[in-house]
Chains A and B, each alone.
Chain A
Amino acid sequence: MERAIVLAASAIGAGLAMIAGVGPGIGQGFAAGKAAEAVGRQPEARGAVTSTMLFGCAVAESTGIYGLVVALILLFANPLVGLL
């Protein structure tokens, strides 16, 4: 019974942890929009703008990745079950 409660709470917690994906989504959308603006203004700088945008996006993504790692730990390597 206790085990079932812990497992259910872990599954809910993993789902809640993925709410962290909202932030990077907004941030990356903002960055991509600005990059599109920049390419529109200066089409010849397209390569530099694109690589800078990808770099910035990948760095901005890390908070979402933290949420994902928490969710993966809760689902596949749950430390809470061992505490029972």
Chain B
Amino acid sequence: MDILVCVKQVPDTTEIKIDPVTNTLVRDGVPSIVNPFDGYAVEAAARIKDNAPDTRIVVLSMGPPQAEAALRECLAIAADKAYLVTDRKFGGSDTLATSYILSKAIAKVEELEGKKFDAIFCGKQAIDGDTAQVGPEMAEHLDYPQVTYALEAAVEGEDLHVTRETEDGKEIMGVKMPCLVTFTKPSYDPRFPTIKRKMKARKAEITHLTTAELTNIDLTHVGLKGSPTRVKRTFVPPRKEAGVVIKEETGEASAQKLYELLSKAHVI
């Protein structure tokens, strides 16, 4: 079994603050992390490897050279090999262009590895862009079946059995490999790396793939020029006006006050 996990390095959006003077996003000093949903995808691959130790897990990322840190973290947790797609020409790519680049990079990695991946795992979305589009778009480029919102995946012969979250609960989907699966937050916590793996990951060689290696890429389909969507502008959402805070002596008095306010406003 060969699994490729796609990961993205993202700013920890829970640490992002708004500058009250300029009303813009303060990104300085915000730590970079492995996108948490991609971490769940790594964990899902690791769980398959727990049951089938001859499984090979390869991680792939696209980003600036410092995204190597995210790949090393995945190597420390469970991955066997890491590749980084990095080239200034890829900057400004929207989800369609990004998924195109990654699908071509996957073909290149398969060539270098000398075999095809049975499954591509991704997080359901990155916590910075929040689009949840790159996974399914890659699946379309590759013409693979997809399962999104997965909680866990198990190998059953030629198929993957994927437990996925739905609006009403859960369901188990069977899907033929090769396929692409995007993962959401499972009910268990992902594992931590061991010290030994961390040491090894620090020294691991990460193969960079640039436009020099990725000769299969049509450069008219990448970057800002190759992207169908444009960001017209961004803004910090207006803060909702502070609500009424009720803090009477007792819970009972607060409840009475709330009831008065709600009935006066004809809410109840």
Chains A and B belong together in one complex: no
